[in-house]
Amino acid sequence: MWGPPPRRIRTGTAGTTELGMGIHGEPGLRTTRHLTAAELTDELVGNLLPELPEPPPGGRGWVAVLLNGLGRTKYEELFVVYRQVNRRLREAGLRPFRPEVGEFVTSFDMAGVSLSLMLLDDELAELYDAPCDTPAFRSLPGRTRPGTTNGRRRRPQHPPRQRHLTRRPMRRPTRGSTCG
């Protein structure tokens, strides 16, 4: 075997929560008692908000939200946490832009959540909202966006920019070829 021996994945003690733990069990920032959804959200959002840049003057205050379940967290629990995240962001004057809640990066038998936030200006919002279809992430046209209600389009505040999407068929590599 090459390299150092593998480290045992860190497991928490009963009744505790590890904050900042890595996706593969790397030690976190600190260990605390189990937290309610509201307490956990206060901790997560409270630590991330000061790290966000100041919104541009006259900006819309949009923030991309990705709430990730680590593999063993039930979807019901994710949406309970998201409800609190949404509340905290709105209290801070930010508007969640097409939030993503689900399992995006998981680890075998790992319970918990990770939260990613990104402040968006108009250009980043348009790029974030563009359709994509990759093995790791899929965002398809026709999803509800901030300018919509229940999937029905509201009158936009400004005319949308034209978007052109060219889809090329994937080419299978030939025998002996390399990808990249």
Whole-angstrom distance, CA of residue 25 vs CA of residue 18: 10
Full pLDDT tens readout for the chain, 180 residues:
455 555 555 566 788 888 888 887 788 888 989 899 899 999 999 999 999 888 777 678 999 999 999 888 999 999 999 999 999 999 999 999 999 999 988 887 788 899 999 999 889 998 988 888 888 888 776 554 444 444 444 444 443 344 444 444 555 555 654 544
Tokens of 20: 């900042």
Whole-angstrom distance, CA of residue 78 vs CA of residue 58: 32
Q: Which of 24, 34, 158, 164 is catalytic?
A: 24
Residue 158 catalytic?
A: no
Residue range 38-138, CATH number:
3.30.1180.20
Question: For the chain, which residues make up each domain, given as ranges?
Answer: 38-138
Helix and strand tally (H, E) in the chain? 3, 9
Across all residues in the chain, what is the average pLDDT?
77
Whether 68 and 114 have beta carbons less than 8 Å apart is answered as yes
pLDDT in the model for residue 165: 42
Q: Is the pTM of this model over 0.75?
A: no
**If you ran DSSP here, which 8-state letter would residue 50 be given?**
G
